[in-house]
Structure 1
Amino acid sequence: MTFLETILGEILRIFKQYGIEANSEDEIARMLDIRQSTFRELFANKADMVKQVVEFDIEQQKKEQADIHEKAANPVEEMMLLLTNGIKRMHEINPVMIQEMNQSYPQAWAISMDYLSNHSQHLNAEVLNRGILSGYFRKDINIQLVTKILLEQFHMLINPAVFPPERYNLAEVFRSVYLYYVRGICTETGGKLAEEYFSKNNL
């Protein structure tokens, strides 16, 4: 990692834990033990810092997705791994960070939403298409519609207003939402793989 990437990774960790506004730029610089002058050279202002952190986080996510692609034995497992990875990442974030970015950092928020709406849907579409060609997903599914449904189900699953974590077991919700839906778009062969994945991972 470069010096800047290391700094961005540390700021991302701080944001995930405390939110964006909990610490000023000067406080963040002190927490990272770097000079104020160095900090000013890296970031024009707080909005620029947040934007760079979001862009760094997106690149990290893309690397994780590439690793998942290499690791997955088939498109069904790849779809499940992508979903579980996304949910794990969201639960590492203090919800305050998302609220503050939405309210006060429109450029960073737009980059984040564009990534979810475009890159994530495109990635899911690629996996579905490979699964169809491999005989794991049904040929008659509407890929564009299915990717949209998967994304909306993801948003629903991570929304604490819909599934408060103190009332619902996330693993059970995940199983109820995704096992039955993914199995429904699978062929018989793909459906067995989906069930094996859930059984193997105790979901």
Structure 2
Amino acid sequence: MPNSTLSVTSLEMAMPVFHRYGLHSATDEQVATALSMTVDDLTAQYPTRADLVHDVLLADIERQKREHAELYAQYPTAVERLYGLLQLGLRDLASIPAPFYSDLQSGFPRAWEAAMTHLANYSGPQLQQLINDGIRQRLFRSDINIHLVTKVLMEQLNLLLNPLVFPPDRYNMSEVFRSIFLYYIRGLCTDEGARIAAEHFARL
């Protein structure tokens, strides 16, 4: 959780500013406006940009977790939850400009470490747990290599967002998403899981 007197939901409002203007280039005025506070109050609470970026990143992680909880409440099966998580991840990644993560890694090591810890301790285990749940629900095949499938899913998401592979001016991203994930995940499914996957995609 962010170490801040600002609420988590307030801090979330700074992330679109960093996406739009850059972690280094966004001005204190732009960030303060997004957070509904004065520049003096912002700089008093966050004397360094590194501390601000770190707490904004942690707030964004909390936003993602809330959305995941809402998704789980909406969809009862592991198959639907897996598709939903991938769609949320795609939506978030598509909104992030290419230099963001390289700037984060090179200029904000504490925030970068927090992001990598989140992937290692939350995102990866979350996918693994979903696949485990799907196996127990007899929606995914029991012979799946869970660690390998998790890695493949993460890399497929990165592939989808690579503009050199799928230039957005030439490809409909929703169709690319269906082509990559519908068929791959359906291949992991039992007959019952495949039926649920087809029904889920029919609603999109």
TM-score, normalization: structure 1?
A: 0.89
Q: Please tell me whether residue 149 in structure 1 is matched to residue 114 in structure 2.
A: no
Label 1:79 to 1:130 Cα distance change in 2 as closer, same or farther (>3 A): same
Larger helix proportion, structure 1 or 2?
1
1:69 to 54, 62, 72: 72
String of CA shifts for 1:34-82, please: whole Å, max 9, x gaps.
3343213321300111111111101110111111111113111110000
1:163-202 to structure 2, matched below 5 A, reads 163-201=166-204
Indicate conservation of the 8 Å contact 1:136/1:189, yes or no: yes
What is the identity, as a one-letter code, of the residue corresponding to 1:28? V
* Structure-1 separation of matches of 2:19 and 2:196: 34
Q: Residue 134 of structure 2 corresponds to which residue in structure 1?
A: 131
String of CA shifts for 1:138-172, please: whole Å, max 9, x gaps.
01111111111111111111222322211211111
* Shift, 1:30, TM fit: 5.5
1:49-88 to structure 2, matched below 5 A, reads 49-88=52-91
Q: How many residues align?
A: 200
- SS of 1:3's equivalent? coil
Indicate conservation of the 8 Å contact 2:9/2:59, yes or no: no
Indicate conservation of the 8 Å contact 2:17/2:30, yes or no: no
Indicate conservation of the 8 Å contact 2:14/2:34, yes or no: no
* Shift, 1:106, TM fit: 1.9
Structure 2 unaligned residues grouped into runs of 5+? none
What is the identity, as a one-letter code, of the residue corresponding to 1:153? Q
TM-score, normalization: structure 2?
A: 0.89
Q: Which range is displaced more, 73-82 or 95-104?
A: 95-104
Label 1:30 to 1:191 Cα distance change in 2 as closer, same or farther (>3 A): closer
* Structure-1 separation of matches of 2:192 and 2:33: 55
Q: Residue 29 of structure 1 corresponds to which residue in structure 2?
A: 32
What is the identity, as a one-letter code, of the residue corresponding to 1:62? K
* Structure-2 separation of matches of 1:162 and 1:118: 29
What is the identity, as a one-letter code, of the residue corresponding to 2:102? Q
Q: Superposition RMSD on alpha carbons, in Å?
A: 1.9
Q: Please tell me whether residue 111 in structure 1 is matched to residue 114 in structure 2.
A: yes
What is the identity, as a one-letter code, of the residue corresponding to 2:43? R
Indicate conservation of the 8 Å contact 1:75/1:131, yes or no: yes
* Structure-2 separation of matches of 1:6 and 1:76: 29
* Structure-1 separation of matches of 2:193 and 2:51: 45
Label 1:104 to 1:139 Cα distance change in 2 as closer, same or farther (>3 A): same
Indicate conservation of the 8 Å contact 1:18/1:97, yes or no: no
Indicate conservation of the 8 Å contact 2:17/2:34, yes or no: no
Indicate conservation of the 8 Å contact 2:11/2:35, yes or no: no
* Structure-1 separation of matches of 2:121 and 2:158: 15
* Shift, 1:188, TM fit: 0.8
String of CA shifts for 1:157-190, please: whole Å, max 9, x gaps.
1222322211211111111111111011110110
Label 1:162 to 1:134 Cα distance change in 2 as closer, same or farther (>3 A): same
- SS of 1:128's equivalent? helix
